[in-house]
Structure 1
Amino acid sequence: MRTAVVAALLGLGAFAAAAGLVLQLHAYPLLAKLQHDINTVSVSEGEGVTAVVYPPGGAPEVRHGLRLTATTRVEGDLAAPEVQANGDVTVWKRATIVKEDAEKLVLSAEVRKVCLDRRTGEAVAPCRGEFYETEQGKRVTADDRRLLQPGLNFVFPFDTERRDHRWYDTVLNRPVTIHFAGEQLLQGLDVYRFAHTVPPTALGRFAVPGSLVGSPEPSVNVTQYYGVTRTLLVEPRTGAVLSVREDIRQELRADGQAEGAGTPVFAGELQLTNASVTANVDQVRKNLPKLFAITVLPVVLLVAGGALLAAGIVLLLVRRRGLVAGSLALVIGACLAGAITYGVADASDPDGSLDLKNVVSSSNVDYGLR
């Protein structure tokens, strides 16, 4: 009877410890990564916004009290050469179009493509085909090994830390430090809040029609200034950005004009709709059990396995019986756990269902760039 107890303790202990090790060393790097085949659409809205609109056939003009809708689509570029099964890099494309709701006039649009580290979410280089385009025909591409869009562009790292991060600002075209600002509940999920304020920053100097800035002159040289207060709600275990709120201010200033005295060309707040936030939360809820299995569960199994092994070894030393049975149980338990856990992890690998060898080209969606 005591021999059976020793064998059971050692076998179960070996099973638990081996399963924990395989989950930690094999399953985690295999499964905790950004997916190649992402395909999502999110919508932000704003009310009472001041913005420049471009009526068909007419001159640009500033309008107030607008209701805006910004639609963003993110998808994976499976045809990119950097995309490999179980590789460390993925390639995502993002397209955003902002329209005013009354006449469906396009205020702005952009398309960009970035290579990302699948575990940290950071942009990486070299990245063949990396670009951003905010005006049709004026695409900015990466130069050799230069990182064109550094920092975090879409998500935060797995197991996000409560510290400053670098978030890429698509207007400034450079990363800006975003600060940890606390924790809160979002639809029942514990999330981290990150926020920053970019003070009014000069973007460039150019000529505009005098009518746009209230001048009788046919053309006026102005400097465009941009500032934003941005708040992101991030689920820390997955790094998913669940909610975004941006209070954006852009102003054209003629020579000698102080801050606030120029012509506002965008002033208002855009925020992800409740439907988009709920969709993000629902997706995270689906992923959290998988993440639990490769983060928390390995620790539990290793601790439990260690305790069982210690108990079995103590009994074995005290009674000095069951050495052969205990050793056999130890080997069988470890081998069985390794085989089962390894097989389940490989079967769950999201890259395993992708036919990356036969991708002819990336999808060609209408991004709405005008």
Structure 2
Amino acid sequence: MVLALGSFLVVAAILLPTYVAGNLVKTPLDQYTVSVATSDNATVFDVASLQVQQNVPVEATRTVRADPEKSTDDVVVLDEFLVLQDARDDKQITYSSDRVGLHRRTAEAQKGFDAAVDDEPTDHEGLIYKWPFGAEKKSYDYFDTTAKKTYEAKYVSSEDINGLEAYKYEMQVPAVKIGDLEVPGELVGSAEPAVTADRYYTNTRTVWVEPKTGVILKGQENQSQTLRDASGADKVTLFAATLTFDDQTVSEAVSLAKDSISQITLVSTVAPIVVGVLGVILIVVGLFLALRRGGNSQSSFRSTKHSDSRTPVRS
């Protein structure tokens, strides 16, 4: 019994960092995170006055929460809500939403699961909101919800973020048309009283990722949106800012990553070692007991045989 239990524990120790860890280390189905990015000197187009305002303090709050009922063992469905506000009076500048299913280990977007951007059905590809467990120093495809396209996020370097090593990735979103807007013609150099101007978007996104967990510790976006005239020249800046995670968001992300690292280490390293050592000890004890029982049996047999040889033969 002891020998069998020891053998079982050794096998379990082998499976823990491979099969078991692979099934346990996944994005949780109860995920809920709030991140805040700020800028003190944004350029914002005020619709009411039709004027471009400079040096506006803004705050972008992103909430990401899982939908457990629509998720599966392998896919977590996430809903994201992003609100951009004027920090002076909390006046909303823009609002957007996103829904996507992500593979719980690779973080790759999955087909289906009612994926949509601003309630419009939209296929997602690549990563979004997190990196895979065991992120590598290589390029990844990352989905941009504003452009509704996937771009390459290139590994740049490794940096320290609040005591954790982070992989830094950068992606460039070149100028891309994201819609149009009807405005007074004079805004874009037209003599017409009203024209429909093309709306363009660009962004340089930088993220710092904790590689073991795929948690984004810090994020920064240098983005702009403009209106173009009929010739394709930028005429009006609707929004321009470099938005960066605030200190509290970075601190909370680091804490989340540290907790996840501890859990991963427990499952993939500590538990296998403890279980494996215990299994080996039980195997040794089991073998010792088996040999001891075998020795006692032979001794008893020899003793019985000697005693019989001295018994008188009766006729």
* TM-score (norm. length: structure 1): 0.70
Counterpart selection for 1:122 from 108, 116, 123: 108
Which residue of structure 2 aligns with residue 287 of structure 1? Answer: 260
What SS is found at the alignment partner of 2:157? strand
Counterparts of residues 1-370 of structure 1 (less than 5 Å): 14=7, 17-54=10-47, 58=48, 60-80=50-70, 83-84=71-72, 87-127=73-113, 129-133=114-118, 139-141=119-121, 148-213=123-188, 217-258=192-233, 261-297=234-270, 324-325=290-291
Identity of aligned residues (%): 26
Which residue of structure 2 aligns with residue 318 of structure 1? Answer: none
Gap change, CA 1:64 and 1:327, over 3 Å in 2: farther
Gap change, CA 1:205 and 1:41, over 3 Å in 2: closer
- Give me the whole-angstrom Cα distance separating, in 2, the residues matched to 1:102 and 1:20: 57
Query: Which of the pair has the greater relative contact order for Cα pairs under 8 Å at 6+ separation?
Result: 1
What SS is found at the alignment partner of 1:262? strand
Letter in 1 for 2:290: V
Query: 5+ residue gaps in structure 2?
Result: 295-315
Which protein has the larger Cα radius of gyration, Structure 1 or Structure 2? Answer: 2
Gap change, CA 1:166 and 1:14, over 3 Å in 2: same
Quick check: 2:187–2:235 contact (8 Å CA) kept in 1? no
Letter in 2 for 1:50: T
- Give me the whole-angstrom Cα distance separating, in 1, the residues matched to 2:292 and 2:208: 51
- Give me the whole-angstrom Cα distance separating, in 2, the residues matched to 1:205 and 1:326: 87
- Give me the whole-angstrom Cα distance separating, in 2, the residues matched to 1:174 and 1:327: 72
Deviations along 1:71-106, one digit per CA (max 9) or x if unpaired, are 1111111232xx24xx11111111010011223221
RMSD: 3.1
Letter in 2 for 1:324: A
Gap change, CA 1:286 and 1:294, over 3 Å in 2: same
Give 1:211 shift: 4.7
Is 101-110 or 238-247 further displaced after alignment?
Answer: 101-110
Quick check: 1:15–1:305 contact (8 Å CA) kept in 2? no
Is 196-205 or 29-38 further displaced after alignment?
Answer: 196-205
Quick check: 1:167–1:176 contact (8 Å CA) kept in 2? yes
Quick check: 1:17–1:301 contact (8 Å CA) kept in 2? no
- Give me the whole-angstrom Cα distance separating, in 2, the residues matched to 1:46 and 1:263: 20
Quick check: 1:90–1:115 contact (8 Å CA) kept in 2? yes
User: How many residues end up aligned between the 2 structures?
Assistant: 290
Which residue of structure 2 aligns with residue 332 of structure 1? Answer: none
- Give me the whole-angstrom Cα distance separating, in 1, the residues matched to 2:22 and 2:97: 31
Q: Higher strand share goes to which structure?
A: 2
- Give me the whole-angstrom Cα distance separating, in 1, the residues matched to 2:40 and 2:46: 15
* TM-score (norm. length: structure 2): 0.81
